[in-house]
Amino acid sequence: MKLSYRKKRYILYSLITLIAICIPFININGNQIFLLSFDHKELHLMGIAFNVQELYLMPFLLIMLFIGIFFMTTLGGRIWCGWSCPQTIFRVIYRDLIETKLLKLRKKISDKQQKPTYDTKNVIKKIIAITLFSCIALIASAVFLFYFVPPKEFFAYLSQPLEHKVLLTFWLCIAGFLVFDITFMAENFCIYVCPYARVQSVLYDNDTIMAIYDNGRGGLVYDNVGNLLAPPQKQDKNNECINCHQCVKVCPTHIDIRKGMQLECINCLECVDACTDVMGKLQKPTLVNWSSPNAIQTKTKIKYLRSKTIGYMIVLAIIFGIMLVMGSKKEPVLVNIDRNTQLYEIRKNGAIDNFYIFLFENTDKKDHRYSFEILNQEGIEIIRPHHPIKVESKGKIKEVVILRAKNLAVNNAKNDALLPLKIRIYAIDDSAISIERKSIFVYPKEQVLQKALHSKK
Ligand code: SF4
Ligand code: SF4
């Protein structure tokens, strides 16, 4: 038996809901699959934690998101809207499950144009429906926040609500907006508010898949400027559309798909199911298909692979590849080296000291002790610190570093010599943690050095 699009959508909705709820609870190496924590200034992606200083992946993620949307829309129209958008999923839960199936406030799922009458009994039912959905909205907004605040911390914060008023306010506001949106705004959100509805028509081409009425078989229902014509079979008895309006009645955005592609269409394919039932009883194929204008006109297969879609796939693959390479170069410790404003200090014995501030940031899950060495300047020794630097997991420490050089054979006859430094910083308790940084050592010019030594005698 062939499943209707409605049933396929319900299966997908259940899967998406399950995945969305589970993802924040799945940890890889102690990190979430996705988390954007403003509190910890961290991004978790597929179990890798990126510090706020490492958010170089963020622009790539955004580019991927936008190109992904362009690709998906060019290929499948507003497939996201009808098949994955939380707005549509919540509307199905509220309108079809709670209002229609559970409370019988609406008569049928197949007739979305009939509004409930509000006598006392139905007003009570409406209040019950809104209350039930409010509980779902609270759970949904909590799940949404789990992508910004890890679930464990979320519940810990909620146990002390007065100390975490911002989180509490966010949670209640998101839930409140969801209740208002789903129970009052309904599909008006898709039609008037959602920006995606505005851009979709620009991305469509004649091979984009959408809900489409076959007016070649069914007969024209509207003229070129959208005026309603006589019923198709009255125009010509060979026209197959029997004008039963089942495809119109079932439409959640209250449009007639026989008018052609419209901004309001969310690609839910309810009209396709409706016409499949009607035409099926007449032993005929549906007049409303999930197909492309070209495929309907030329009676050929839908063209998925075309220059536009191939181009998007190539760009997406390139960006994904760049992200993989950059992600694999993630450093296990972050170290910023700042030089002191004082260029150098000349000691009595002719030694030259340079001063630095090393900022260590341990992005690992464990505490570590770090040390460092100069790789490329043999005459420069580390005066301070004397001991390894301990940095707690996720912690930061600033350390004053003094490097000293004496009697270096450098070209400093006329100017201060700027000696490039290559510094290896490593964890003494984990051989896998090792990074390199560059800086400079300033060695004074001969004249300044001799003058300073002379005055110190
Ligand atoms: S016309 Fe209406 S029922 Fe058909 S796919 Fe679009 S939104 Fe859904
Ligand atoms: S459901 Fe099919 S037959 Fe009935 S009005 Fe719509 S297109 Fe025509």
What was the pLDDT predicted at 18? 96
Q: Best mutation site among 241, 249, 258 for ligand 2, i.e. most ligand atoms within 8 A of its Cβ?
A: 241
Residue 251 CB less than 6 A away from ligand 1: yes
Q: Which ligand is nearest to the CA of 250?
A: 1
124, amino acid identity: I
Residue 98 CA to ligand 1 centre (angstroms): 21
**pLDDT-derived band at 457, boundaries 50, 70, 90:** low
189 and 221 co-located in one domain: no
**270-281 and 5-22 helices, crossing angle to 10°:** 150
Give the pLDDT of residue 428.
93
Q: Is residue 98 part of a domain?
A: yes
pLDDT value for 314: 96
Ligand nearest to the CA of 278: 2
Protein residue with its CA nearest to atom 1 in ligand 2: 275
Residue 365 has what pLDDT? 79
- The answer to whether 275 and 246 have CB atoms below 8 angstroms apart is yes
Residue 422 lies in a domain: yes
CA dist 139 and 143 (Å) reads 6
Cα–Cα distance, 424 to 436 (Å, whole number) = 4
* Nearest ligand to the C-alpha atom of residue 256: 1
Q: Would the CB of 246 count as within 6 Å of ligand 1?
A: no
Q: How many independent structural domains does the chain possess?
A: 3
Here the CATH number for the domain that contains residue 440 is 2.60.40.10
Give percent of the chain above pLDDT 90: 61
Q: Residue 189 above 80 pLDDT?
A: yes
CA 347/CA 166 separation, integer angstroms: 55
Whole-number Å distance, alpha carbon 138 to ligand 1 midpoint, is 29
What integer pLDDT is reported at residue 222 of this predicted model?
Answer: 92
Q: How many angstroms separate the alpha carbon of residue 100 from the centre of ligand 2? A: 23
* Mean per-residue pLDDT, 419-430: 93
Closest C-alpha among 71, 150, 75, 65 to residue 323:
65
Pick the residue whose CA is nearest to atom 8 on ligand 1. Answer: 268
Same domain for 353 and 415: yes
Among 135-139, 424-428, 446-450, which stretch is predicted with the lowest mean pLDDT?
A: 446-450
Residues 264 and 389 in one domain: no
Can you state the angle between helices 120-145 and 165-180, rounded to 10 degrees?
140
How far are the Cα atoms of 32, 335, 373 from residue 391, in angstroms, in the given order?
A: 23, 12, 18
Distance of CA 418 to the CA centre of its chain: 45
State the average pLDDT over residues 55-63: 82
Task: Name the domain boundary from 275, 298, 321.
Answer: 298
Q: Which ligand is nearest to the CA of 191?
A: 1
Q: In which band, very low, low, confident or very high, does the pLDDT at 426 lie, cut at 50, 70 and 90?
A: very high
Q: Residue 98 pLDDT more than 80?
A: yes
Residue 308 Cα, ligand 1 centroid: separation in angstroms? 25
Residue 53, pLDDT score: 66
The mean pLDDT value for 275-293 works out to: 95
Mean pLDDT for the chain overall: 90
The ligand 2 atom at the shortest distance from the C-alpha of residue 274 is 1
* Residue nearest (by alpha carbon) to ligand 1 atom 4: 271
Name the residue among 172, 97, 82, 169 with its Cα closest to residue 133: 97
Domain membership of residue 306 (yes or no) is: no
Has residue 138 got a pLDDT over 80? yes
Residue 20 is part of which domain span?
5-203
Pick from 151-165, 176-190, 412-426 the range whose average pLDDT is largest.
Answer: 176-190
Residues 175 and 194 placed together within one structural domain of the fold? yes
Most ligand 1 atoms within 8 A of CB, residue of 257, 262, 289 to mutate: 257
Same domain? 288 vs 261: yes
For residue 279, the CA-to-ligand 2 centroid distance in Å is 8
Contacts of 301 (CB under 8 A, 6+ apart): 295
Domain membership flag for residue 364: yes
pLDDT of residue 403: 94
Q: Domain check: are 115 and 150 in the same one?
A: yes
Residues with CB under 6 A from ligand 2: 213, 218, 241-247, 258, 274-275, 278, 287-288
> What's the pLDDT at 377?
87
Query: 387 Cβ partners below 8 Å, 6+ apart?
Result: none
Annotate 201-264 with DSSP letters as a single string: HHH--TT--EEEE-HHHH--SB-TTS-B-S-HHHH-TT-------HHHHT-TT---GGG---TT
User: Which atom, in ligand 1's list, is nearest to the CA of 269?
Assistant: 5
Residues 140, 219 within the same domain? no
User: Are 15 and 58 found together in one domain?
Assistant: yes
For 127, 227, 252, 348, the CA distances from 130, given in Å and listed in that order, are 5, 38, 19, 82
The predicted pLDDT at position 181 comes to 96
Is 384 within a domain?
A: yes
| Residue 191 Cβ < 6 Å to ligand 1 | no
Phi, psi (deg, nearest 5) at residue 118: -105, 75
Where among 147, 172, 203 does a domain terminate?
203
Residue 51, pLDDT > 80, answer: no
Question: 218 with 287: CB under 8 angstroms?
Answer: yes
Q: Whose CA is nearest to atom 3 of ligand 1?
A: 251
Same domain, 186 and 228: no
How many angstroms is it from 367 CA to the middle of ligand 2?
Answer: 68
Tell whether 46 and 161 lie within a shared domain.
yes
Q: In what order do the strands lie in the sheet containing 42-45?
A: 34-37, 42-45, 48-51
300: pLDDT strictly greater than 80: yes
How far, in Å, CA of 415 to CA of 310, rounded? Answer: 58
Burial of 316 (0-12, 13-18, 19+ CB in 10 A): middle
Q: Does any domain span residue 106?
A: yes
Indicate whether 325 belongs to any domain.
no
Mean pLDDT over 193-199 rounds to: 83
pLDDT for res 15? 97
Any idea which ligand is nearest the CA of 272? 1
For residues 384 and 239, state if they share a domain.
no
**Residues of the chain with pLDDT > 70: what percent?**
98
Q: Which ligand is nearest to the CA of 263?
A: 1
Contact between 427 and 393 (Cβ < 8 Å): no
Q: Judge whether residue 119 has pLDDT over 90.
A: no
Which has the closest alpha carbon to 51: 299, 363, 307, 432? 363
From 88, 110, 194, 269, mutation site for ligand 1 pocket: most ligand atoms within 8 A of C-beta:
269
Instruction: Give helix 307-328 / helix 57-76 axis angle, nearest 10°.
Output: 160
Residues 217 and 197 in one domain: no
Contacts of residue 384, defined as CB under 8 A and 6 or more positions apart, other chains included, come to 400, 401, 402
CA 84 to CA 266: how far, in whole Å?
Answer: 11
Residue 151, domain member (yes or no): yes
The last residue of one of the domains, among 203, 226, 241, is 203
Query: Does residue 212 line the site of ligand 1, with CB under 6 A?
Result: no
pLDDT at 252: 94
Window from 33-47, 162-176, 313-327, 382-396 with minimum mean pLDDT: 33-47
